[in-house]
Amino acid sequence: MEGDLNAPDGIGLEDRAEDGTVAVRPSRAEAEAAVRTLIGWAGDDPDREGLLDTPGRVVRSYEEFFAGYESDPTELLARTFEETDGYDELVVLREIRFESHCEHHMVPIIGCAHIGYMPDRRVIGISKLARVVDAFAKRLQIQEKLTAQIANAINEVLKPKGVAVVVEASHQCMTTRGVHKSGVGMVTSRMLGSLRDDPSTRREFLSIIGSPTTYNG
Could you say which of 101, 149, 168, 171 is catalytic?
A: 171
Catalytic residue among 70, 105, 172, 204: 105
Is 103 catalytic? The answer is: yes
- Active-site residue (options: 14, 104, 144, 156): 104
Among this protein's residues, is 101 annotated catalytic? Answer: no
End-to-end CA distance of the chain: 29
State how beta strands 186-193 and 162-171 pair.
antiparallel
- Catalytic-residue membership of 104: yes
Q: Which of 30, 70, 173, 204 is catalytic?
A: 173
Query: Which is the catalytic residue, given 63, 99, 102, 172?
Result: 102
Based on the residue annotation, tell me whether 173 is a catalytic residue of this protein. yes
Residue at 168: amino acid letter: E
b/e code 20-42 from CB counts within 10 Å (16+ = b): eeeeebebbeebbeebbeebeee
CB neighbourhood size of 16 (10 A): 12
Length of the chain: 217
Q: Which of 101, 141, 143, 149 is catalytic?
A: 143
Partners of residue 111 on adjacent β-strands? 98, 169
Spatial contact of 139 and 153, defined as CB atoms under 8 Å apart: no
From the candidates 95, 103, 144, 156, give the one annotated as an active-site residue.
Answer: 103
Q: Show which residues are catalytic.
A: 102-105, 143, 171, 173
